[in-house]
Structure 1
Amino acid sequence: MVADPTPQPTVVPVGDNPTPLWGMSAAERLRRMAAARKLVVADDTSGDVLLANLAFAFDPAWLPHLVARPGTVLTRDGVPVLAHVAAADRERVAAAMVADRPLDPAGLTVIAAEDEAGIFNESLRKRERPFAERLTPASVPAIERASYVGAYKGVTDLLTKYLWPEWALWLTRLCARAGISPNQVTGIGSALCIVATVAFWYGWFWSGLAIGLVFMVLDTVDGKLARCTITSSALGNAWDHGVDLVHPPFWWWAWATGCAAYGRPLTHDTFVAVIAAMLFGYVAQRLIEGAFIAKFGMHIHVWQRFDSRFRLVTARRNPNMVILFAGLLIARPDWGIVAVAGWTMLSLVVHLVRLVQAIAAKARGQRIVSWLA
């Protein structure tokens, strides 16, 4: 007979806080976080509880961390923020929350939010330091920024990391306050993606780049908005990732075709070679990344520091667009697409070498772990 799984604690909000965060009240934000983890929110319960102090806002990562650790309290300046406690400890912990005073930690394990050590995120295979801050009108901008930064903790490309974080933050705030859903942002972005493809096909490269830039920024915003407002859905995730996965080869094909309308046509042999290299390289790199995840349980770009740095420029859509932009600056979009094809094949070789090196290292008895852990 299989034993019953350990029952989940009931989430109990303590206090009230009218200060909105991402357009939500503290109570609504807590309800969404709990629902995302399939936790029940209730005031009246007799079993283990997860007390949540609504005077504070905390990173959603704290919720599963404490759910898995009965008898643990997260504090900020000694005041309990989140506590997974038995019924016997509920009253004294809740009292400290209501009185806004430090908790006597007798019999409980305390995690201070100020601790530089942070916690280990199992899904991302890295150590991070989630936020837990007092929620007041004055602190909202800082908390929203911390929430936004924490919404995506993986490694990424140079444009997403350096060019438009502030644009995307501003748009994410605007969408949250206007009640625009992540799927609506994805829908707008999908339409712009198609328009950019048409523009490339007809050689309208500057217009296509401008439209494509808006799409690429919105491609960041929809995911950030979903995570910050805790409205992620299976449909939205499939839609967003599906568009990301499918459209790049169509952009490269359209760009190569549009070179003729622009006045810089590729020869037939060059066109075939470019498209073949880009399609093969694109698919092969994705397969290598999938193989690495299947074999080692983490993404290839978080294995060693080199891999994370290479992710900044590897032949994905955004770095490739930088190459195409550079070619267009000198009125040679044909050189740009040829350069992208070459960079795609070179990136493929780098990924293949890294996969082989990881397999060889594991065969020698070396543990393959993320350098970010």
Structure 2
Amino acid sequence: MSSNPNPPTPPHVVPLGSNDVLLWGMTAHERLRRIAAAQKLPFGAAGEGPAILANLAFVFDPAWLAYLKTRPNTVLTRDNVPVLAHVSARDRGAVVHAAETGAALPSHLEVIPAEREEGIFNEALRKRERPFAERLVPANVPAIERASYLGAYKGVTDVLTKYLWPEWAFALTRLAARIGLSPNGVTAIGTVLCIVSTIAFWNGWFWSGLATGLAFMVLDTVDGKLARCTITSSALGNAWDHGIDLVHPPIWWWAWAVGCAVYGRPLSDGMFWAVMGAMLFGYVAQRLIEGAFIVRFGMHIHVWQPFDSRFRLVTARRNPNMVILFAALLVSRPDWGIIAVAVWTMVSLAVHLLRLVQAMLEKSAGRPVVSWLA
């Protein structure tokens, strides 16, 4: 199949006005430039081509730019004032006039009030959301930064990330932005803590390992949120962060099982290898099932139906597994903990395999397989 010889011209992102109020340490102009770059859209004068006009008196969630870039003749408003407008050259003057004076917009433009309740579906973050769009004045900065941070949170995630440390991670994200610490800098600190935890588990120092592991897990949230809030995601940072996330859990479980002997609660040889085999097989197989679901149905398995989203809270990923290990350590039985994690890993694997088969049967029967959040 030949490619389109005349692909549509991408809209230029054009700032309107100026604003010196800082958000996450950035001016509105710099933040807009970063958002445009992240969306691979040209920034600055648009000539006679299409443009997305951005009113710098306001600040908006990056999801709005991604939403509007494929919707020509669409205007996002806040309190009836244009915030973003994807328009042709002939409508720019009318939009600028409306932004400056509050005049009515041309009737042929579709207007989307930011206040509308239904919101939009964000596939990357696995949630339906109502992205923020607010007037950028000093008094609003704390609330906007919180909205920006919460907007970067996944709607479908594990129980600890969702309920235990959002406030901790928010405080650390704000601190990192204030002192100029980059997301990769946060990832580097987290990597060191991850290694320290592994060493502690291997030597049976489980409480020390849990403490440093907790700090690492919180920073694992902070680096991603900092990158999204400051619009500083990079290919290196993404690969580094996801690489660490992918590799370290089975190493932690292996180290914990070895450390049980040092602690005085050794596993028998047969139990050790049965636990390791179950955990490693279950970990890899679950990842493959999740990947197969994405390839076949174009979405994460955890956003298919409400059950899947609820099961994601406790499925055998690193954070829920750490809760199991913590509970076992409270009764001084780390060996019971690692055995319980192995059992829960296999149970979770069975649930994911069953859900994949059920989705395939639904599709083969001609019924749509779509996210309940869409």
Alignment TM class, shorter chain as reference? over 0.9
Equivalences for residues 268-307 of structure 1 within 5 A: 268-307=269-308
Partner of 1:81: 83
Contact 1:71 1:84 in 2 (8 A): yes
1:70 is matched with which residue: 59, 69, 72?
A: 72
SS at 2:10's partner residue?
coil
1:16 is matched with which residue: 15, 18, 30?
A: 18
Deviation per CA, 1:282-336, whole angstroms, max 9, x where unpaired? Answer: 1111111111111111111101100000000000000000000000001111111
State how far apart, in whole Å, the 2-side matches of 1:98 and 1:232 are. Answer: 33
Equivalences for residues 77-226 of structure 1 within 5 A: 77-99=79-101, 101-121=102-122, 123=124, 127-226=128-227
Contact 2:148 2:229 in 1 (8 A): yes
Pairwise CA distance, 1:46: 2.7
Pairwise CA distance, 1:106: 2.2
Equivalences for residues 232-311 of structure 1 within 5 A: 232-311=233-312
TM normalised by structure 1 equals 0.97
When residues 264 and 62 of structure 1 are mapped into structure 2, their CA distance, relative to the original with a 3 A threshold, is: same
Pairwise CA distance, 1:104: 2.8
Matched to 1:248, the amino acid is P
User: Which sections of structure 1, spanning at least 5 residues, go unmatched?
Assistant: none
Identity %: 73
Pairwise CA distance, 1:66: 1.4
Tell me whether 166-175 or 140-149 shows the greater mean CA deviation: 140-149
Contact 2:125 2:153 in 1 (8 A): no
Contact 1:80 1:102 in 2 (8 A): no
State how far apart, in whole Å, the 2-side matches of 1:333 and 1:34 are. Answer: 50
Partner of 1:50: 52
SS at 1:61's partner residue?
helix
Aligned length: 372
SS at 2:62's partner residue?
coil
Pairwise CA distance, 1:236: 0.6
State how far apart, in whole Å, the 1-side matches of 2:45 and 2:356 are. Answer: 51
TM normalised by structure 2 equals 0.97
Deviation per CA, 1:171-219, whole angstroms, max 9, x where unpaired? Answer: 1111111111111111110111000000000000000000000000000
State how far apart, in whole Å, the 2-side matches of 1:279 and 1:202 are. Answer: 21
Contact 2:125 2:152 in 1 (8 A): no
Q: CA RMSD in A?
A: 1.4
Contact 2:126 2:154 in 1 (8 A): no
Partner of 1:29: 31
Q: Runs of 4 or more off by more than 4 Å in structure 1?
A: 122-126
Pairwise CA distance, 1:125: 6.6
